[in-house]
Structure 1
Amino acid sequence: MPSPLAPRYWGAHLLALVLVGIAAALGFWQYDAWRAHRAAEAVDLSQVEPVPLAEVMGPDDPFPGNRIGQPVTVEGTWVPDGTVYVSGRVHEGTDGYWVVTPLAVDGADGGALPIVRGWIADPGDAPPPPTGAAELDAWLQPPEGTGETDEDPGDDVLPQLRIADLIQHVDQDLYGAYGVAEVPEDGLAAASVDQLPEVGTFTGIRNLLYAVEWWFFGLFAAFIWWRWVTETTARRPLAEEAAEPAATDP
């Protein structure tokens, strides 16, 4: 049986190598594109420059999933009667509360954005709610939805910052989001922002499928090459063996 490395097979080997290499390279290119899409969706925006709230969302818009942690500048008037305290918030190892007051946004047709003014260990020690006009920078966050039930809807303490719960405490239309003040109010500690965007299951899925498809093509080309080599090298000795009796006949 002739060796698969015989010069007569070099052209086929080279063609197979080129096809498999191209398929593998294109597959890795699509795989890198898939990873880049997912990384872009999970980017931490908390350190970028603030933009006006209106450039990110309006009072009736759903929360833009790619803007979690986006710093925004908000101008408006405080709604002190809507102040609530969100329990279960830890600051430097101590359990406490977020102090939240809606800010009626200028030019938002009555829409108000709940603002986390800061953290306090005991709501009784919180400074009085602010009044009047205000302008501040805040990190934009989507409404929470942990599924916890407010066991006492009549008080000002909420187990989560859910818009459907907060709206029971304020006679005001609310944005589908809330903001965490970058600078806490005097008498309050800074509230932490530790929420990053969740990457969608199907983010960049087309690129991933293309990568798998190219790798499959590469494996198929390698399989065809292997079958050709094995069949060719096995067929030639049989042909030579069949020709030997004819060559020895007188």
Structure 2
Amino acid sequence: MLGLCLVVAGVFAWLGQWQLGRALQTDPTPPGATEVVRPIDEVVQPGEYLTDSLIGQQVEVSGSFVPGDFLIVSTRYNDGDEGYWVTGQLRVDGTPGPTSVAVAVGWAKTMDEARAAAEKLEKDAAAGGSPVTVRGRLIADEGPVTPPRGSDPQTMTRMSPAALLGQWHDVDGLSVYRQYVASQSAPAGLTDIHSSPPTEGSGVNWLNIFYAIEWAVFAGFAFYLWYRLAKDAWEKEVEDLEDLKASA
């Protein structure tokens, strides 16, 4: 039993060391790295998840907006004011196959302002608008949610490329980025989206440290289990000897 407990404790100790190694970042992101504008394909590829250190990274991407896909997302705050985002499907240039990224183009105070801006953008895109280069922050999908009760089923209150994809046109064989770009420059009729730099990390993952402590506790419990079994066996032997003496 002691040998078995030693093996179990050794496994737990190894797991704790592994968690501790993951908790300490040996190559943390340099301060201000997210503020350096990088091509989007250097940061993430279509369909890939974004690592925590790259959330909020400033990126640029060139392409053309797809007509008919300027959609409005409600419940968007800009400097504390609630309003709406006008979003678009940007078909990315220079990719081997059709590839798109969702772009939050700009913010509007009212739904009427957002619809007017979306209509103007639709006309420009339908007229064969020139390619554009969008610069902004790369932000993770917020996840789709059910529309409020009694509202239009197509109403969106979260910025979710997955939800937008369900309403986009010309999506056969399309590769899509899981993230969206919050543009730093809005066209006429919309307000620039305020997007603060992400908080700099400490280089220490406290959750992993907590897990490492848990594994150490489990290793200690393995030895405690052996101690209790050994003590119970010793007490039983002592009790049997005492019974034997009493019966002699």
- Would you call these one fold, judging by a TM-score over 0.5? yes
Distance 2:112 2:56 in 1: 29
The Cα of 1:208 is off from its aligned counterpart by 9.3
CA distance 1:203–1:40, shift in 2 (3 Å): farther
Q: 2:159 — aligned with what?
A: 161
Correspondence for 1:231: none
Aligned to 2:101: 113
Matched letter for residue 104 of structure 1: R
Say yes or no: does 1:149 pair with 2:155: no
* One-letter code aligned to 1:169: Q
State the superposition RMSD in angstroms: 3.8
Letter of the structure 2 residue corresponding to residue 182 of structure 1: Q
The offset of 1:183, in angstroms, is: 1.4
Cα gap change, 1:203 to 1:134, in 2 (>3 Å): farther
Query: Is 125-134 or 52-61 further displaced after alignment?
Result: 125-134
* 2: CA distance, partners of 1:175 / 1:110: 12
8 A Cα contact 1:139 1:179, kept in partner: yes
Matching of residues 18-29 of structure 1 within 5 Å:
none
Q: In the aligned structure 1, how far is the partner of 2:111 from the partner of 2:56?
A: 26
Residue number in structure 1 paired with 2:57: 70
- Larger gyration radius, structure 1 or structure 2: 1
Post-superposition Cα deviations, 1:45-89, rounded to whole Å, max 9, x if no partner, equal 542x21111111122322333211111110111113111111111
Change (3 A) 1:176 1:123: same
8 Å CA contact 1:66–1:197 kept in 2: the answer is no
Distance 1:34 1:191, change over 3 A: same
Cα separation, 1, equivalents of 2:50 and 2:152: 25
Other structure's SS at 1:82 match: coil
> For 1:37, what is the secondary structure of its paired residue?
coil
> Which of residues 178, 183, 191 in structure 2 aligns to 1:176?
178
Q: How far, CA to CA, are the matches of 1:153 and 1:43 in structure 2?
A: 44
Q: Sort the Cα spacing of 1:203 and 1:102 in 2 relative to 1 into closer, same or farther, 3 A.
A: farther
Q: Within 2, Cα distance between the matches of 1:107 and 1:204?
A: 40
1:189-242 CA-to-partner distances (Å, cap 9, x unmatched) read 1212247479799568469959xx9xxxxxxxxxxxxxxxxxxxxxxxxxxxxx
Q: Is the 8 A contact 2:184 2:194 kept in 1?
A: no
- The one-letter amino acid paired with 1:93 is G
| TM score, norm. by length of structure 2 | 0.59
SS in 2 for 1:192: coil
| Structure 2 counterpart SS, 1:66 | helix
* Residues in 1 aligned to 2:111 and 2:27: alpha-carbon distance in whole angstroms: 39
TM-fit CA distance, 1:103: 0.5
**Paired residue secondary structure (1:177):** strand
Amino acid across the alignment from 1:168: G
Match of 2:78 in 1: 91
The Cα shift of 1:153 comes to: 5.8
2:192 aligns with 190
User: Which residue number in structure 2 is paired with residue 226 of structure 1?
Assistant: none
Question: Which residue number in structure 2 is paired with residue 79 of structure 1?
Answer: 66
Q: Distance in 2 between matches of 1:87 and 1:195?
A: 23
Q: Distance in 1 between matches of 2:153 and 2:159?
A: 16
Q: Contact (CA 8 Å) 1:45, 1:68: kept in 2 or not?
A: no
Identity of aligned residues (%): 23
Could you tell me how far 1:154 is from its partner in structure 2? 4.6
